[in-house]
Amino acid sequence: MAKLLDVKDYKVYYQTLKGQIKAVDGVSFFVNSDEVFGVAGESGCGKSTLGNSLIYLKAPMRYAGGNAVLDGNDISKFTDDQMRRIRFEKISIIPQFAMDAMSPTKKIKNIVVDLVREHNKRMSEKEIIDLAVERFKMIGLSKNVVDMYSIELSGGMKQRVVMVISTLLNPRLLIADEITSALDVSSQKFSVEMLDEFKSKRFVSSVIFITHDISVLYQIADRIMIMYAGHVVEIGNTEDIVLKPLHPYTKLLISSLPKMGIQFSQKRLKGIPGYPPNLLNPPTGCRFYDRCPLRVEPKKCQNEIPPLVEYMPDRYIACWAYIKGNDKNE
């Protein structure tokens, strides 16, 4: 399968008065064309920073190394102007809190037209609006929506409108950042199905689906990447990651999720003791060291960052327990 996005040792730091916050610190992964690539992790693990930086790297975010090759071009080295030209057409985002993303003083059609015109001068105003109406209809919104203001729409409708706007120019890669997190279960399901529909109609080719909710990823993602404190800990096929996790963090994270059929009175689930490290001065070794129950080689774990290796075909893990020679786990 062809790689649409290939990210290598990519680093994005936040510049603060106290120093640099290493929010994304050397992550490597790739996204195949025509797949949904899930990114999961706790708050502060760098998943949103990663998504946002690929779209628009604005201060205090700072590029600190590595490459991100999209369709043959290293977009991490792009200037603002170069980036502006591919944004929306090649790579697009549904931002977190999409419901608040639209200006309340403009009609939906004006928002759509302004945005598309900025990136694509070939389409006429009418063509743009017709396209938007067609997509709105597809997801059960009335054509009257284009003449409304965003404040006239409910939260769920706003979310859908933003999803349509973000994908209007058929971007190759769509970054969906926590699009289900503020929604009720029935709307969550709706958003995911809508994304699926857009993908099958080829409005988007690949999706990076960022969320903290692994059970939603299980529904939609082809592959999942788990992040912890700015590092990648594990990448693999959805079924493998969710049902047969290998990295100690992924294992604990998944076992801490309440599932239907488990009640407190019968089985007490456990969280992960401790807290993620401060990324201003991250530990020198594995970032999960403090909370890890495994620590196969305490010295090494504490002092050396475990590299991300392909442990099995299509299964990448960054943990000293899974590096050849230390193979006593499993």
Partner 1 sequence: MNELIQIQNLTKIFKSGLVGGYFTTAVDDISFDIHKAEIISLVGESGSGKTTVGRLILRLLKPSLGRIIYEGIDISTLRGKKLKEYYKHVQGVFQDPFASFNPIFKVDRVFNLLFDGYLKDKANKKNELIVESLEKVGLNSLDILGKYPHQMSGGQLQRILIARTLLLDTKLLIADELISMLDASTRVDVLNILGDLRDKEKMSVLFITHDLSLGYYISDTTMIMYRGNIVEFGKTKLVFDNPLHPYTRMLLSSVPEIGRKWKKSELEMKRGELPPGGCPYFDRCPLAMDVCRKKPSLKEIDQNHKVACYAAEGVKSNDPISFGKSHDS
Q: How far is the CB of 181 from partner 1 (least distance, A)?
A: 9
Instruction: Please choose, out of 131-139, 163-171, 294-302, 314-322, the segment that lies near partner 1 by the rule CB under 8 A.
Output: 131-139
Among 64, 115, 139, 323, binds partner 1 (CB under 8 A): 139
Among 17, 80, 81, 271, binds partner 1 (CB under 8 A): 271
Residues 18-47 that bind partner 1 (CB under 8 A): 42-43
Looking at residue 56, the DSSP 8-state letter turns out to be -
Helices (H), the chain: 47-55, 80-86, 108-119, 125-138, 155-166, 185-200, 214-220, 238-243, 248-255, 298-303
Q: How far is the CB of 260 from partner 1 (least distance, A)?
A: 6
Does 309 contact partner 1 by CB under 8 A? no
Instruction: Please choose, out of 87-95, 248-256, 293-301, 316-324, the segment that lies near partner 1 by the rule CB under 8 A.
Output: 248-256
Does 258 contact partner 1 by CB under 8 A? yes
Total site size for partner 1, rule CB under 8 A: 49
**Closer CB to partner 1, residue 76 or residue 96?**
96
Tokens of 9: 């040792």
Q: Is 308 exposed, middle or buried (0-12, 13-18, 19+ CB in 10 A)?
A: buried
Among 268, 313, 324, 328, binds partner 1 (CB under 8 A): 268
Strands 223-228, 36-40: parallel, antiparallel or unpaired by DSSP? parallel
Does 254 contact partner 1 by CB under 8 A? yes
Hey, what amino acid is at 276?
P
The CA distance from 91 to 210, in Å, is 15
Of 181, 292, 304, 297, which is closest to residue 228 (Cα–Cα)? Answer: 292
Of 230, 262, 261, 227, which is closest to residue 241 (Cα–Cα)? Answer: 227
Contact residues toward partner 1 (CB under 8 A) are: 42-43, 137-143, 155, 184-190, 192-194, 197, 212-216, 218-219, 242-243, 252-254, 256-265, 268-272, 275
